[in-house]
Amino acid sequence: MISKERILDLLSAYDTENLCLATVCSHTSLQIFHGAKAEGLRTIGLITSEQQRAIYDAFPAAKPDEFVDVGDGAIPYEELADKNALLIPHGSIVEYAGRGLEDAPLPVLGNRQSLMWERDRRKMFEWMKAAGLQTPAILDPDKIDRPCVVKHPGAKGGRGYAIVHSPEEFHAKFENKDVMVQEYLVGVRAYPHYFYSPLSKEGYRTADGHLELLSIDRRFESNVDESYRTMMAGVPIRPSFTVVGNQGLVIRESLLSDMLSMGRDAAEAAERLFGGIPGPFCLELICDENLQFYCFEISARIVAGTNIYPEGSPYSCYVFGEPMSMGRRIAREVKTAKEMGKLGKIVY
């Protein structure tokens, strides 16, 4: 992994009056570009095919100022650094740039180490445990004694997840792939979207900064989230968990205290384990019938569920007196850091 010093060196050569935000044209890019415009920052869209441009014809208020073609599979980091670009990581970048991101000679919003802790499910559970979060049990495939979800590594949007109930079923479905076997938890899902700032003087206090809870979503997965319709139709169905979209959600106000403290604990554990997670993150939670939360995954960057709220959410309006998406919040933090001369605190 490229050193933080190297990134700070690169940053020191930046013309900070002409910063711009670059990201791959997918996942949450419309929101990120739209938010950057609201904050007056320039944007670069990294496209892998010409068709992607056409999407921005449909959504002109979210069109980046410039496109850079990365169709050959390589992000031109040096060219982006010359343009004073900060890379905004999202789920598709994690998949697209892969391990190359570790060595990318370009400032990345947040802490690129967190993306490595997100990619490796065992490290992710280490992080969740260090934060004191309740988690599903992780089982050895040969000791499966209850319903379990089997998950592939990385941010695959749920594709290929499967349910197994025994070692035999596991081995019939998986040939010792690099998967994780998690106990199936009974409850309902909720995905709070946090923004952690080491710079802000407002928000929910953590050891080294402040936390904001900007919104919450539920994922909408095919085919499982309409499986009851299929079953009612008398059609045999094997559940699949491919994320298709997201829907808005508010939770009981009395649960906000738990949601905030879980976010704080995750941010503080990140600080201790690998130097913190400036920027957006998400805890993927199950809430059981006794209103206990279990965390089964952390996304250490902006999540697609924030796309529900490009003009703010039922929570962000209690934080800001203006429409504030997660994309705009990112741009706001970049501006603030620049003004404070502390960009080095929010990138790596």
Nearest approach in angstroms of CB 55 to a copy of itself is 6
Nearest approach in angstroms of CB 162 to a copy of itself is 10
DSSP 347: B
Closer residue to a copy of itself in complex, CB, 143/201: 201
46 binds a copy of itself (CB under 8 A): no
DSSP 90: B
Place of tokens 């739209």: 34
- Per CB under 8 A, the segment of 13-21, 68-76, 268-276, 281-289 that binds a copy of itself is 281-289
Closer residue to a copy of itself in complex, CB, 159/173: 159
197 binds a copy of itself (CB under 8 A): no
Tell me the residue length of the chain.
Answer: 348
Give residues 151-190 in contact with a copy of itself (rule: CB under 8 A): 157, 159, 163, 165, 184, 186-190
State how far the Cα of 268 lies from the Cα of 206, in Å rounded to an integer. 7
Among 243, 300, 337, 346, binds a copy of itself (CB under 8 A): 243
Give the containing element (helix H, strand E) for 21.
strand 20-24
Tell me, rounded to whole angstroms, the distance of Cα 45 from its chain centroid. Answer: 19
211 binds a copy of itself (CB under 8 A): yes
Nearest approach in angstroms of CB 347 to a copy of itself is 24
Nearest approach in angstroms of CB 123 to a copy of itself is 26
**Residues in contact with a copy of itself, total (CB under 8 A)?**
93
Structural contact between residues 96 and 121, judged by C-beta atoms closer than 8 angstroms:
no
* Bridge partners, residue 280, by sequence: 195
127 binds a copy of itself (CB under 8 A): no
335 binds a copy of itself (CB under 8 A): no
Nearest approach in angstroms of CB 133 to a copy of itself is 18
> What's the token pair of residue 40?
């007056």
Among 242, 335, 336, 345, binds a copy of itself (CB under 8 A): 242
41 binds a copy of itself (CB under 8 A): no
* Bridge partners, residue 287, by sequence: 188, 293
Which of 147, 153, 92 has its CA nearest to residue 118? 153
Question: How many other CB atoms sit within 10 Å of the CB of residue 152?
Answer: 17
Place of tokens 């403290």: 261
Nearest approach in angstroms of CB 58 to a copy of itself is 4
Structural contact between residues 16 and 84, judged by C-beta atoms closer than 8 angstroms:
yes
Among 78, 82, 103, 247, binds a copy of itself (CB under 8 A): 247
Question: 232 by DSSP, 3-state: which?
Answer: helix
State how far the Cα of 101 lies from the Cα of 108, in Å rounded to an integer. 9
Place of tokens 């501006």: 335
Give the containing element (helix H, strand E) for 248.
strand 241-248
60 binds a copy of itself (CB under 8 A): yes
Closer residue to a copy of itself in complex, CB, 32/116: 32
Give residues 72-91 in contact with a copy of itself (rule: CB under 8 A): none
Question: How many other CB atoms sit within 10 Å of the CB of residue 239?
Answer: 14
Among 23, 312, 332, 337, binds a copy of itself (CB under 8 A): 312
Among 279, 309, 346, 348, binds a copy of itself (CB under 8 A): 309
